[in-house]
């Protein structure tokens, strides 16, 4: 993995020895003859045609994500949501049904609603804890199973092997949104799932400067998506964004190790603070999903969510009292980011559904960055102390 993030998908010899992947900032590619153009369109000759159909910089990135996810092929999109929508639209038709994890990103929820209202593609949410729960909700018209794990923002895990086993029995493809883990911490295809996708905006880019999506899976399935709901709907990635991602990806393992180390430290501190009611973190050995984490994730990741002893107003006060930690949605950046899911990322989910998903008004999501972990905690601690008007001693600053 550490080597593949740097080298796979690119050979400097093919590009005048350029160490960095060149940015092919072109919309189209010239043909040597009309006949060559015909052959390329007919798929009889390899080569680029037009950047919405393929671009060398983007292709290097697609090959890299395929390698990292252990897939036959990869595909790049203009955003994470472009990936989610292109995949779900490619796998379903009017009258079909999608079975989803009990909780998905707010805009994915919005897309599911839109597909139901406009195209009669229905969905159900399922906690997916047992075979029986899945079996009860799978119908003859279930066209795919869509899973987030860890789930945004509750950090609940889904057992991918269990879901893949049941799906296989019914011949239903499993799509996994792997945004929270990145391929460094979790590789869903190895657990038997069929398509993995990312909001590459997050850990894969890692620097908060690009909006992008990636997917990987079997060649045939990826080709179908590339030639239908990517090509014809058009949510493609720009060559410059592909270049930013190739650049960011090189440090993915190093960054993820540091994100995880920092998050583990913050979890331990949060658990001891009287203003904190509950902490949700996959890597917490006392948490309910620790066994699943050990089975399918390398480490617990860089995201934590926690509930405070208080109300929505207290949650907002906490955010307002931070200074190093920035109030922002998105995650996986070098900067520690904090947000209030009920009024931000998941504000589009009706309250009743939100509560079912475990998103209360006192839930806060923290994307732990790469700063010194003591600095992150110091900022959080002073805000938590002020919040509850309790003064706790400054934690010891051991390394």
Angle of the 239-249 helix axis to the 56-69 helix axis, nearest 10 = 40
347, 108 contact by CB (below 8 A) = no
Q: Rounded to whole angstroms, how far apart are CA atoms 267 and 153?
A: 15
Provide CB contacts within 8 A for 335, sequence distance 6+: 208, 326, 328, 369, 371
- Subset of 159-178 contacting ligand PLP (CB under 6 A): 177
Instruction: Compare residues 182 and 381 and give the one whose CB is closer to ligand PLP.
Output: 182
Q: Does 238 bind ligand PLP (CB under 6 A)?
A: no
The one segment of 28-36, 79-87, 279-287, 370-378 that binds ligand PLP by CB under 6 A: 79-87
Question: Secondary structure of the chain: what % helix, strand, coil (to 5)?
Answer: 40, 15, 45
Count the residues of the shown chain that bind ligand PLP, applying the rule CB under 6 A.
Answer: 14
Instruction: Compare residues 211 and 254 and give the one whose CB is closer to ligand PLP.
Output: 211
Phi, psi dihedral angles at 364 (to 5 degrees): -125, 140
x-or-dash string of contact with ligand PLP, 99-138, rule CB under 6 A:
------x-x-------------------------------
345, containing H or E segment:
none
* In the complex, least distance from residue 18 CB atom to ligand PLP, rounded to whole angstroms: 28
Instruction: Compare residues 106 and 310 and give the one whose CB is closer to ligand PLP.
Output: 106
Name the 3-class secondary structure at 239.
Answer: helix
Q: Does 201 bind ligand PLP (CB under 6 A)?
A: yes
* In the complex, least distance from residue 234 CB atom to ligand PLP, rounded to whole angstroms: 15
* In the complex, least distance from residue 25 CB atom to ligand PLP, rounded to whole angstroms: 22
Q: Rounded to whole angstroms, how far apart are CA atoms 235 and 115?
A: 17
Within 10 A of 28 (CB to CB), how many other CB atoms are there?
A: 11
Residue with structure tokens 């037009």? 50
Q: Does 80 bind ligand PLP (CB under 6 A)?
A: yes
The one segment of 34-42, 73-81, 254-262, 287-295 that binds ligand PLP by CB under 6 A: 73-81
* In the complex, least distance from residue 35 CB atom to ligand PLP, rounded to whole angstroms: 40
Instruction: Compare residues 138 and 342 and give the one whose CB is closer to ligand PLP.
Output: 342
Residue nearest to ligand PLP (CB): 80
Q: Rounded to whole angstroms, how far apart are CA atoms 289 and 149?
A: 11
Q: Rounded to whole angstroms, how far apart are CA atoms 110 and 388?
A: 35
Instruction: Compare residues 76 and 370 and give the one whose CB is closer to ligand PLP.
Output: 76
Q: Which residues bind ligand PLP (CB under 6 A)?
A: 79-81, 84, 105, 107, 148, 152, 177, 179, 199, 201, 211, 213
């Amino acid at each position: 993995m550490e080597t593949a993030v740097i080298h796979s998908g690119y050979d400097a010899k093919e590009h005048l020895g350029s160490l960095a992947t060149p940015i092919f900032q072109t919309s189209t590619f010239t043909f040597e003859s009309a006949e060559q153009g015909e052959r390329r369109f007919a798929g009889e000759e390899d080569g680029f045609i037009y950047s919405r159909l393929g671009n060398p910089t983007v292709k290097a990135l697609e090959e890299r994500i395929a390698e990292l996810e252990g897939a036959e092929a990869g595909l790049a999109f203009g955003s994470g949501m472009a990936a989610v929508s292109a995949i779900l639209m490619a796998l379903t038709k009017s009258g079909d049904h999608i079975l989803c994890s009990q909780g998905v990103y707010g805009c994915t929820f919005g897309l599911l609603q839109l597909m139901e209202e406009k195209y009669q593609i229905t969905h159900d949410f399922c906690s997916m804890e047992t075979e029986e729960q899945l079996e009860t909700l799978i119908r003859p018209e279930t066209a795919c199973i869509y899973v987030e794990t860890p789930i945004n923002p509750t950090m609940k895990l889904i057992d991918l092997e269990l879901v893949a086993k049941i799906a296989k029995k019914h011949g239903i493809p499993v799509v996994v949104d792997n945004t929270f883990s990145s391929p460094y911490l979790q590789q869903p295809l190895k657990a038997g799932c069929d398509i993995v996708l990312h909001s590459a905006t997050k850990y894969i880019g890692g620097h908060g400067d690009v909006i992008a999506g990636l997917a990987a899976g079997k060649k045939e399935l990826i080709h179908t998506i590339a030639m239908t709901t990517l090509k014809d709907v058009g949510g493609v990635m720009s060559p410059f964004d592909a270049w930013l991602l190739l650049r960011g990806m090189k440090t993915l393992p190093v960054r993820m190790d540091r994100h995880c180390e920092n998050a583990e430290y913050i979890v331990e501190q949060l658990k001891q603070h009287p203003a904190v009611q509950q902490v949700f973190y996959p890597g917490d050995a006392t948490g309910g999903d620790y066994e699943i984490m050990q089975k399918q994730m390398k480490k617990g990741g860089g995201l934590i969510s926690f509930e405070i002893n208080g109300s929505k107003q207290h949650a907002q006060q906490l955010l307002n009292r931070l200074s190093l930690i920035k109030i922002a949605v998105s995650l996986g950046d070098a900067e520690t980011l904090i947000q209030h899911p009920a009024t931000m990322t998941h504000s589009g989910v009706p309250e009743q559904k939100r509560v079912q998903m475990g998103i209360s008004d006192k839930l806060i999501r923290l994307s732990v960055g790469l700063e010194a972990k003591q600095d992150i905690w110091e900022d959080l601690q002073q805000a938590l102390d002020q919040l509850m008007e309790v003064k706790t001693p400054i934690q010891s600053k051991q390394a």
